Amino acid sequence: MSLEESSSSLSPTPEETPSAGSIVSPSGSPPPAKPAKRARQESETGSTGSVASDGQPRKKRGRKSKAVTAEMMDAKRVKLTSLANSRGFGYVLTVGQGDTGQLGLGEDIMEKTRPGLVKEVEDAVEVVAGGMHTVVLNKKGEVWTFGCNDEGSLGRIVVEEEECFVPGKVTLASTVVQISAGDSHTAALTQEGGVFLWGTFRDSSGPIGLVQWGKMEMVPVQVKLDEEVVKIISGGDHLVMLSRDGNIYTMGNSEQGQLGRVPEMFGHRGGRRGGQLLLQPDKIHAKSKSRVFKDVWAGSYNTVAMTMDGELLVMGLNNYSQMGLDHNTAGLTFFMPVLSKNLSKKDWKQISVGQHHALGLDREGGVFCLGRSEYGRLGLGEGVGDAGEATAVQGVEAGCKVVACGTAVSYALGSDGSCYSWGMGTNGQLGTGQEDDVWEPSLMKSKQLEGREVLTVSSGGQHTVMIVRDRK
């Protein structure tokens, strides 16, 4: 997600995510067989955060550098009005599996292979698909949630289970301008630059808490941070915040190095230093303290940070070279930020990261992929192997405006509002009406898309959500 285009946080799906305490294979060994669609949360979304078995300094800022930074951050700052005006607002559509209500279509609709209309929320400006829940932001700055609430990810008290299957409003004291979600947590950025959080983070041993160790939050709590935040983005079980001054703060699970500030010896539950080390927001440990960042993205087990010079620093899981670094020589996991020379070659508008693959959108609207190829998630065609470097995806129109990843699925939005999908079809979230894997970009078609353009798209554990509006 870029600051111009807010997009989803990504969450694992069952097809590749081990259950609690198991090991993520760093090799290219054959993937496990696809399981049944409606499993419990641990196997369904990867929220357990299973552990992988292997895991330029900027000149000191003077007045000129500070002025440039402030100007750039002001220009990039997401405001509710600018988001609604630049992107527009519209209807919410959902597709895929909805066992816990994440489709928002009522308790009688458990799955959709073509997009369905969520009638209860109007004038949506942003949508995010979590592991098993969905979050919507409307143009009034109100947050609506639906789906699994076992660990508080809805941010509202639910008396009857049926209430999880339709949108409900989250009570927040301020206008919200941005949202993000992971497997079992949700975050909201207010117009004052404050961050509110609810739910819980998880690791390979289970829930770890949110802002206080071992305590999940069923309603929103504020993250204590001295700096004003201009962007939030969630991984599966971690939260990343970009401040107005160009600093990046992280909190949550650190087992795969995704926090970029916790050494491997403290990666599991903070080691001897204790778990609060992980839940106390702190800056990523770039080699130079003077480094300033202008954008950041996150995936299931990764964080990707862009410096003011356009360099991309990566941290987290790299077991399929999904960070643009050869996993055979560079490493399987990065617990501290590492420069990705391959990703730094292009001027990216947006990066989206799944579990074992990533998509990039350059400034010209070109779509690129890298990482694991199984189930067609790269869009390079059947029989094509993994991609260790950013590789152009054919079959999508020039000038795309948004890319999005789920665990093993991918999406790209054309400049005309068309939506392309490819990857694993098991959960029906590609919107093709079928459950076959799709190995190359395929234009999504349905009655709900006729005469409409797609403004943004987000993919979660087993479902996908989008905003559409009537064509003018």
Structure confidence by residue, pLDDT tens digits, 326-384: 999 999 999 999 999 999 999 999 999 999 999 999 999 999 999 999 999 999 999 99
472: pLDDT confidence band, cut at 50, 70 and 90? Answer: confident
What's the token pair of residue 352?
A: 């989206």
Look at residue 16 and tell me if it is in a domain: no
Q: Report the domain count for the chain.
A: 1
Helix (H) or strand (E) holding 358: strand 357-362
Q: In this structure, is residue 404 part of a structural domain? A: yes
Question: 47 pLDDT exceeds 60?
Answer: no
CA distance 279 to 239: 10
Query: Could you tell me if residue 303 is inside a domain?
Result: yes
Structure tokens at 78: 């997401």
From the CA atom positions of the chain, what is the Rg in Å? Answer: 20
Does residue 10 lie within any of the structural domains?
no
Residue 98 within a domain: yes
Could you tell me the CATH number of the domain that includes residue 367? Answer: 2.130.10.30
Query: In this model, does residue 61 exceed pLDDT 50?
Result: no
Report yes or no on 443 lying in a domain. yes
* For range 381-400, the mean pLDDT: 95
Residue 392: domain span: 40-470
DSSP 397-451: -SS--EEEE-SSEEEEE-TTS-EEEEE--TTSTT-SSS-S-EEEEEE---GGGTT
Domain annotation covers residue 92: yes
User: Is residue 20 included in any domain, yes or no?
Assistant: no
- pLDDT of amino acid 81: 57
Reported as a single tens digit per residue, the pLDDT across 68-89 is 444 445 544 445 555 666 789 9
Q: What 3-state class would DSSP assign to 245?
A: coil
pLDDT at 234 over 90: yes
Mean pLDDT over 267-296 rounds to 91
